[in-house]
């Protein structure tokens, strides 16, 4: 309906000229029709505005629900990671420590995550791995990042340095 005129409507530019030829009674009738037309347009615009407000409120409620669900999932994931008996290490793309489980900290003899947070993994790993293994693992990490593909390797490591190496599945 917007932008369209009814057959009996006169464009605004022509209205002044049109009303000059009307008698006072005809002009009153014309103005009443114009008032009704403007009233209909106003009512239509008010309905559009109301629908826009309702849509905005619905979107805000949806966003709040999604945010709450995401927060719940993040808390659950954190709880899972915090209580995992497995060694889990997450690195930033440049190879710096972003996260590790307490299991890794215990096995590596590190007392707090803050000691490794943001540190390059090669610096941390050199406490329990030889240079040849570090070069090997760095090659795999670099290749995985460059090619943007997941690589899984099986390695035997003595992270605890207690003379009892364990098998580890390493995912890049």
Euclidean distance between CA atoms 68 and 64, whole angstroms: 6
Which sign, positive or negative, has the C-alpha torsion 93, 97, 102, 108? positive
Q: Residue 1's pLDDT is what?
A: 44
Euclidean distance between CA atoms 25 and 52, whole angstroms: 40
> pTM above the 0.75 mark?
no
Instruction: Tell me if 159 sits within 8 A of 152, measured CB to CB.
Output: no
Strands 166-171 and 97-100, by their bridges, are: unpaired
Instruction: Tell me if 12 sits within 8 A of 30, measured CB to CB.
Output: no
Tokens of 119: 């540190």
Q: Residue 167's pLDDT is what?
A: 82
Average pLDDT, the chain: 85
pLDDT in tens, 59-91: 999 999 899 898 989 898 888 888 888 888 888
Q: Residue 68's Cα: distance from chain center in Å? A: 13
3-state SS assignment for residue 63: helix
- Can you list the alpha helix ranges (DSSP code H) found in 2-120? 12-19, 24-82, 102-108
Comparison of pLDDT for 57 and 11, the residue scoring more: 57
Which sign, positive or negative, has the C-alpha torsion 9, 11, 14, 19? positive
Instruction: Tell me if 108 sits within 8 A of 157, measured CB to CB.
Output: no
If you average pLDDT over residues 103-123, what whole number do you get? 92
């Amino acid at each position: 309906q917007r932008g369209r005129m009814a057959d009996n409507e006169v464009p605004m530019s022509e209205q002044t000229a049109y009303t000059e030829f009307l008698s006072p009674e005809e002009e009153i009738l014309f103005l009443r029709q114009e008032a009704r037309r403007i009233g209909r347009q106003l009512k239509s615009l008010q309905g559009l505005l109301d629908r826009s407000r309702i849509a905005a409120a619905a979107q805000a409620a949806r966003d709040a629900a999604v945010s709450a669900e995401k927060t719940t999932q993040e808390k659950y994931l954190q709880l899972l990671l915090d209580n995992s008996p497995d060694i889990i290490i997450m690195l930033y793309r440049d190879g710096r420590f972003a996260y590790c489980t307490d299991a890794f900290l215990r096995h590596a003899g590190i007392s707090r995550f803050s000691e490794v947070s943001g540190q390059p993994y090669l610096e941390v790993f050199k406490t329990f791995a030889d240079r040849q293994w570090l070069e090997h693992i760095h090659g795999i990490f670099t290749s995985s990042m460059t090619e943007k593909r997941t690589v899984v390797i099986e390695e035997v490591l003595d992270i605890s340095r207690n003379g009892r190496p364990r098998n580890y599945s390493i995912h890049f």
